Amino acid sequence: MALTIDVNGEQRVVEADGETPLLYVLRNDLKLKGARYGCGAGQCGACTVIVAGKAVQSCDVPVAAVVGKAITTIEGIGRNGQPHPLQQAFIDEQAAQCGYCASGIIMAAKALFDAHPGAGETEIRDALARNLCRCGTHHRILRALRRAQERMAR
């Protein structure tokens, strides 16, 4: 069935069963590879995108559930070759080792900072509770998020 979804500010028509996970539509149909397949059960956060202002695990959301809602992927946050402050902070702090989790963590943090720009350490940690990093760069990730938060507050 033809479904129209709003991805990164653009209306896109996709041919998909309504129960198809959003992640599959983003990666396979729209060729947006930033959201990654990790666990397929909404447990690891590698596939996190923002839907209607909230961080969601796209592997666990049927595409029909997002029709009429704004979807933002990692590809939609930088502009004109300029990384978003969260992306730049990850680069500056070398927060990603393998990088598999990075886009999901950045998107979860973006949703948090958009809703709560002054989020504290506990709120940041809570927002990232569903995002796993197997490389163990948690300290660098938190340092990058605090750096980005400062930049975004200016």
- Express each pLDDT in 17-71 by its tens digit: 999 999 999 999 999 999 999 988 888 999 999 999 999 999 999 999 999 999 9
What is the CATH number for 140? 1.10.150.120
State whether 102 and 70 are in the same domain: no
Query: Using CA atoms, how far apart are residues 126 and 87, in angstroms rounded to an integer?
Result: 20
Query: What pLDDT, on a 0 to 100 scale, did the predictor assign at position 99?
Result: 86
pTM of the predicted protein model: 0.95
> Which residue, 76, 98, 118, sits at the end of a domain?
76
Query: Using CA atoms, how far apart are residues 110 and 127, in angstroms rounded to an integer?
Result: 10
> Which residue, 50, 76, 102, sits at the end of a domain?
76
| Residue ranges making up the domain that contains 27 | 2-76
* Sheet hosting strand 70-72, strand order edge to edge: 10-15, 2-7, 70-72, 48-51, 54-57
What's the pLDDT tens digit per position in 79-136?
888 999 999 999 999 998 888 899 999 999 999 999 999 999 999 999 999 998 888 8
What is the CATH number for 51? 3.10.20.30
Within 8 A by CB and 6+ apart from 103, the residues are 34, 35, 36, 46, 48, 73, 74
State whether 114 and 61 are in the same domain: no
Query: What pLDDT, on a 0 to 100 scale, did the predictor assign at position 154?
Result: 79
> Which residue, 17, 48, 76, sits at the end of a domain?
76
